[in-house]
Structure 1
Amino acid sequence: MNGRRSSTLEYSVWPGWRLLMQDAGVTAPPVLRRAQLPGDLFARRSVRLNSADFFRLWEAIEAEAQSLQPTIPTPLQIARVMSSDWFDPELFAALCSAHMRGAMERLATYIRLIAPMAIRMVRNDKHTTITLDFLTASQPPPAVFLIFKMVLFVQLARLATRTQINPLQISWPLPDDFEKDSGLYAAFFGTPVTHSAVTTLVLDNADMDRPFLTENHKMWLFFEPDLRQRLSDLDRTCGMLERVRSALLESLPAGEVSMQAVGRKLGVSTRTLQRRLQGEGTSFQQILDTLRESLAYHYLRNTAMSSAEISFLLGFEDANSFARAFQSWTGKTPGAVRHELAVGNAQDVASASRTPD
């Protein structure tokens, strides 16, 4: 099981990265030396790195870029040279779409080819909220990678529409040293960046539906079968536990948490789903409860969301259902746990501020 599980915790590195870095003034050799990775990494085909190596690569890119241009954040350095001729499967699949809504739907479908991430979209009458979550919550990615994804999505919309599209809201877990760059990011996005536990982008529906001038349906029909095949290959090599967990992360806010709904999403019968999970030493309900409990702690610890808001994100019918389930997992109410976490954080801050006699 461990061998199959590890395959889902990998990130793709595309040869096009070398061109983009070069255009941004960052050459590959010193980056790869910093990251302690093979010198020919960007020349290889279908490179996938584990989380630790991939995050170290991004930290090396940032360190090298900052050594050359310390006054400009690395994601913005890359954004300035990003163009539609940079061949990256993620960018290409999106640019061929009819509009930003279609682009994000495609990215949500194929994002696991790039990284163990999940993209969710919630649309109301006026705007669309896009959130980016990671399937490896125990090892969060470096801030530069999260920020780059938000910069990429906004730059994608601008490139494809040739319009200065600005988010209505943009937020992510702000690093401690963000203040020095906050003005530059506000200028890029056209709105101040705020803190949130979950990386979030909010766009006006008019911008989500604005036609892409780069739409190319024929090219997409040529390109898509290979993406579908690679996604199928990835599914075959990863365990059912991770496939179910990934499907649930996407489906929880919509309340689609039944085994039947997940089975349909994965293209397997409930009987097959039960049998394969049993073979991996778990069950559907165990995965669902463990995921909900982990996310609940995450939201209670890192956000000010109400129990009603958390219950919605976890796919419960109401806040009371969430509270009962949470108490069955932990023996405590969500309010009690949030209070304990707040007290613990306050004690940590007080302890850190004390100086020895």
Structure 2
Amino acid sequence: MPRSLTRRSIKQLSKLPTVQGGLSRLAADRVRQCGVKLEPLLSRAGLTIDQIDDPERRIFASSQIAFLEAAAEALNDNLLGFSLAEKFDLRDLGLLYYVMASSETLGEALKRASRYSRITNEAVVLQYQDGREPRLRLIYSGIPRHADQQQIEFCIFAMVRASCTLSGRRFLPERVSISHVRPRGVAKFAGVLGNALEFGADADEINFPKGSAEWALVDADARLNKILVKVCEESLSSRKCKTGDLRVRVENAISPLLPHGQARANVVARKLGMSERTLVRRLAEEGFSFNEILQQLKASLAIRYLEEDSLPISRIAWLLGFEEASSFSHACRRWTGKSPREIRLSC
């Protein structure tokens, strides 16, 4: 065992959410097809060729996100997650696909997805809300949501595409909301997700058509579904639910609050189901303060937004909760020693 790999670090690694890695392997295939060197991109994400070439090996969710972002940059394809979701074989979702496909109705399939999605991806928690207009919300657990764009876009489109295929109906969602900002490529999304599509929203969510929960599925098989549910339950019980450290949960709670100027400790504490005093105390126990996390998150998002040339600086200021662009400029100089324009030129 390397000296640097202490028992504490091993314990911390064991708590990190993992994924089956199918999406990373799809992206790796695309990189290879385009003649781009794969190994350096994997290395940037802490991955190896052996991990990618072995379909049985799980990888860290954070590594998958980092690799997808690196691949998108190397391929100059800002729509990588979307395009992968558009063409992959749904059966590659494995057990999750088959337990959904054998369900009786779309509503039951979405319930199965909500319960068993952790088998495929421990970091993306699906929450299904039944009703006349069923709703599926995607929540990040154990990793920061703001670092991801490609994976979440893949997940949302893949769920809509799977729902269309399993029900045998071509439909558009009533509404789709995605919490990150996308200044380019929105028209492509609207073509398959509908015009009621909002980026920079408060949540990642799909609203399905009215009455769609009752739609019968084309491959419904009650006997097979019963068997698969049992297998899923056994698989789920063998995996521990990983909620991640408090800092990540705080970051994920702050992100959608920034544009509304509501990123305050009392508001975040309420969203996390605790008092402000408890939140401050628990963060201090982990060696952080709320303001430190807030400022570091704003700085990280600022650099990410400034990389997008088509995103006006005044809008970036608003997205980060600043009332005026001048306040944002002062903050940038405090974080980096550079103005927003200087940061943009250096990206």
- TM-score interval, smaller chain: 0.5 to 0.7
Q: What is the percent sequence identity of the aligned residues? A: 11
Residue in structure 1 matched with residue 159 of structure 2 by the alignment: 153
Q: How far does the alpha carbon of each residue in 1:246-275 deviate from its partner, in whole angstroms, 9 at most, with x for none?
A: 8xxxxxxxxxxxxxxxxxxxxxxxxxxxxx
Structure 1 position 115 matched with structure 2 position 122? yes
Equivalent of 1:211 in 212, 216, 224: 216
CA distance in 1, matches of 2:249, 2:62: 25
Would the alpha carbon gap of residues 79 and 190 (structure 1) be closer, same or farther in structure 2, given more than 3 Å must change? same
What is the CA distance between 1:213 and its match in structure 2? 0.5
Residue in structure 2 matched with residue 173 of structure 1 by the alignment: 179
CA distance in 2, matches of 1:160, 1:216: 12
Residue in structure 1 matched with residue 108 of structure 2 by the alignment: 102
Residue in structure 2 matched with residue 259 of structure 1 by the alignment: none
What is the CA distance between 1:47 and its match in structure 2? 1.7
Structure 1 position 186 matched with structure 2 position 190? yes
CA contact (8 A) 1:32 1:38 kept: yes
Would the alpha carbon gap of residues 225 and 43 (structure 1) be closer, same or farther in structure 2, given more than 3 Å must change? farther
CA distance in 1, matches of 2:111, 2:223: 18
Higher deviation after alignment, 92-101 or 9-18? 9-18
Residue in structure 2 matched with residue 348 of structure 1 by the alignment: 328
Equivalent of 1:301 in 239, 248, 258: 258
The AA in structure 2 aligned to 1:215 is A
Equivalent of 1:223 in 206, 214, 228: 228
Equivalent of 1:7 in 5, 10, 14: 14
What is the CA distance between 1:155 and its match in structure 2? 0.2
CA contact (8 A) 1:167 1:201 kept: yes
CA distance in 1, matches of 2:41, 2:118: 27
CA contact (8 A) 2:21 2:55 kept: yes
Runs (5+) with no aligned partner, structure 2: 1-7, 282-293, 295-319, 333-338, 343-347
CA distance in 2, matches of 1:168, 1:35: 37
The AA in structure 1 aligned to 2:129 is V
Would the alpha carbon gap of residues 202 and 118 (structure 1) be closer, same or farther in structure 2, given more than 3 Å must change? same
CA distance in 2, matches of 1:190, 1:128: 16
Q: Structure 2 length as normaliser, TM-score? A: 0.65
CA distance in 2, matches of 1:290, 1:24: 33
Equivalent of 1:197 in 192, 202, 218: 202
CA distance in 2, matches of 1:290, 1:180: 30
CA distance in 2, matches of 1:165, 1:21: 31
Residue in structure 2 matched with residue 234 of structure 1 by the alignment: 239
Residue in structure 2 matched with residue 47 of structure 1 by the alignment: 57
CA distance in 2, matches of 1:33, 1:295: 29
CA distance in 2, matches of 1:292, 1:42: 29
CA contact (8 A) 2:136 2:205 kept: yes
The count of residues paired between Structure 1 and Structure 2 equals: 285
CA distance in 1, matches of 2:91, 2:253: 42
Superposition RMSD in Å: 4.3
The AA in structure 2 aligned to 1:44 is D
Alignment of 1:314-333 (within 5 A): 314=271, 325-326=275-276
Q: How far does the alpha carbon of each residue in 1:145-183 deviate from its partner, in whole angstroms, 9 at most, with x for none?
A: 1111110110011111121121111111233xx333011
CA contact (8 A) 2:28 2:52 kept: no
CA distance in 1, matches of 2:42, 2:116: 27
Structure 1 position 93 matched with structure 2 position 93? no
Would the alpha carbon gap of residues 98 and 21 (structure 1) be closer, same or farther in structure 2, given more than 3 Å must change? farther
Would the alpha carbon gap of residues 208 and 174 (structure 1) be closer, same or farther in structure 2, given more than 3 Å must change? same
What is the CA distance between 1:231 and its match in structure 2? 1.7
Residue in structure 2 matched with residue 163 of structure 1 by the alignment: 169
What is the CA distance between 1:315 and its match in structure 2? 8.7
CA distance in 1, matches of 2:340, 2:190: 32
Alignment of 1:46-85 (within 5 A): 46-63=56-73, 66-67=75-76, 70=77, 73-85=79-91
Q: Structure 1 length as normaliser, TM-score? A: 0.63
The AA in structure 2 aligned to 1:203 is F
Structure 1 position 35 matched with structure 2 position 42? yes
